[in-house]
Chains A and B, each alone.
Chain A
């Protein structure tokens, strides 16, 4: 009797695990030898028919996976009247099934971005069951999106993986770019408040003397600004560090401020700060008659390099330096926001701040938001905390003339 009970329990336990396993497992699991891993997707407007899409897939070559070398890639292109159709056609023509579980980036051409087809692209990727909603979207500043994958840079590595790594580290540097996953882009487009910005990439001549293996290098080059669903302009890469500091919380980066010299040659020397952490907040004052926003940026930093004739980095001096840096960042952010106000392009999230703080007022002015934004009073308040001065306290002084 006891043994029967045990056997029954054993069978039931097995049955239970069997059900759980088959329900949460992958019936359509395929081995590496049966799938074609798509690392990235590039979407272009067809040259033959502007109503059609050319979709290029960067395929990871698994053949050298055992040798320990970095995987390389090759491209396949398919055409269709929708992105989905092109993807299905590519699947049909492949010996092995396309696998999108490891797709890291979706590159769209400038033409696609400017034509307003972005929504169709976003819809395809959010609706599709196989593609992750967290893939990053970027704009190609080359002639086509495909060209981004065509250049085999960095010892023939997979370009999509390089782009993904650049994006993954984006919050730890001010020199990178704004990163936008598909689901964020979609929600920003349908919310119809602040404008969507997407990072743009292009190839630059490699000026590095250390790395002679590559004559070109893939780098971010500003962000594209979308009004409704169409890209209308770019924000220059030189403005990106300021833009990032005013719109994102960063975990790294650097900031250089200029200090007026007292004695040394030339007018200015510099203080270079390593940013440990930045936090930013946009607040709206609901009581005011006119629209008044505050942009508060707080930076925790450390001195990385200091070339000046300041005699000692004592506490009082650090406070002065903090104020000096804050003034200069204030000016930079203020100028950038001012320029965007002139162009009536809210890329900072002021509309979102108003919507969240004073919904009724937003409802009243939302149809005329561009105009209201251009007239809004925006006060930037920056605060630097210089936490340490590195391994040295004093510094080398330059004697006058």
Chain B
């Protein structure tokens, strides 16, 4: 049995789940210059959701989401929960692969058949997934470090292009649009962090768990703040609303004198790296779901067939890129079931079970255990 993931690796794994998908889909265009308000406000609903995940890991240690579902909801309801979450992860493989391949197709390899791009993403991600969660987490450390270095460099050289006046007026979009934005941002990208529970048995279950998850969310918030404000300040709110790949487009405007320009390939480079990590995580989560539902021994042998089916779907889920962005609106609501509904049901079931368990313990044995605990604490400490 391999060692558990370190807190550092868990932190970076969370970051990959958070930052990758958003790179393509971007932020709700209606938000314009108020995008930063929605990003900051999204921290509020994320705190209870993180507490929920931490609590689940605490009361059901050494279990992943699927084990937790069976444990707390029973065999039938638990397996239904596994299927719902597995389907979510399965479709996410297709959607993420499609949107990344479409991005590469539109911005870099216009004449390359999209199938080829999808295949390359698929095989790289499949290889990473077969190597296990430890390898994915190590990959995450590298790619997130590279992403942050790139973000710093690109932001530094984009400063002459930035016009902070483009970030005014503040709050002009109104509470409805801003709150809709919060909902979108919580669903995508931050909601994807739920997939971490599918590898929860590999995570350390100490007091730092909440801090690690919240830390990655806060770093994600900072990351998105820089990206969104930079894009809006360079493009102007009007263009921010119009263009498809906001961050990519903003970076393509950066030009330092005549000798340093066209640095958007750096953005593409980061997108590719994070995308591979993200798809690998979803592949692992899907395979684990099928393993649990059908009681297989190993999930790794399921990666290839499941991935292949997801790949087939990824080739033609949408007619065009506009449909991808339309789908995001549906996704905001659809994702609430696996991201909030399923974990909430599992948590409530687990709490009820825990309480029943506590109540069923013999009162005398309970008193005896309390006395033992007191005696242990009063024993002199060995020097």
Contacts and interface: CB of A to CB of B under 8 A. Distances in A.
Q: Does A associate with B in a complex?
A: yes
Interface of A: 19-20, 22-28, 126, 129, 132-134, 168, 181, 183-184, 186-187, 190-191, 352, 355-359
B249 A27 contact: no
A132 B242 CA distance: 16
A183 B169 contact: no
Contacts, number: 66
Q: Which range holds the interface residue count of chain B? A: 20 to 34
A23 B169 contact: no
Contact of B268 (A23, A133, A191, A352): A23
Given A27-B111, A28-B110, A133-B253, A187 B236 contact: yes
B269 A20 contact: yes
A183 B255 contact: no
Contacts of B104: 23
A28 B111 contact: yes
A181 B253 CA distance: 10
Given A133-B252, A183-B253, A356 B117 contact: no
Given A19-B124, A191-B238, A355-B169, A27 B109 contact: yes
Contacts of A181: 253
B371 interface: no
Contact of B242 (A25, A190, A355): A190
B145 interface: no
Contact of B120 (A22, A28, A126): A22
B239 interface: yes
Given A19-B120, A23-B272, A190-B238, A352 B165 contact: yes
A356 B165 contact: yes
Given A23-B108, A129-B110, A359-B172, A187 B239 contact: yes
B222 interface: no
Interface of B is mostly: helix
Interface in B80-116: 104, 106-112
Nearest to B168: A356
B258 interface: yes
Nearest to B242: A190
Given A19-B124, A28-B112, A191-B236, 6 more contacts: A24-B268, A25-B108, A126-B243, A134-B255, A168-B258, A183-B253
A25, A27, A126, A352: which has the most chain B beta carbons within 10 Å?
A27
Nearest to A358: B169
Interface string B213-255: 0000000000000000000000110110011000001001101
Nearest to A22: B120
B265 interface: yes
A307 B120 CA distance: 73
Nearest to B266: A24
6 contacts: A23-B117, A28-B110, A129-B110, A191-B238, A356-B168, A359-B172
Contacts of B117: 23
A28 B239 CA distance: 28
B154 to A, nearest CB: 15
Contacts of B172: 359
B252 A129 contact: no
Contacts of B106: 129
A181 to B, nearest CB: 8
A168 B255 CA distance: 11
Contacts of A24: 108, 265, 268-269, 272
A237 B120 CA distance: 56
Contacts of B273: 20
A264 B62 CA distance: 97
Contacts of A26: 108-109
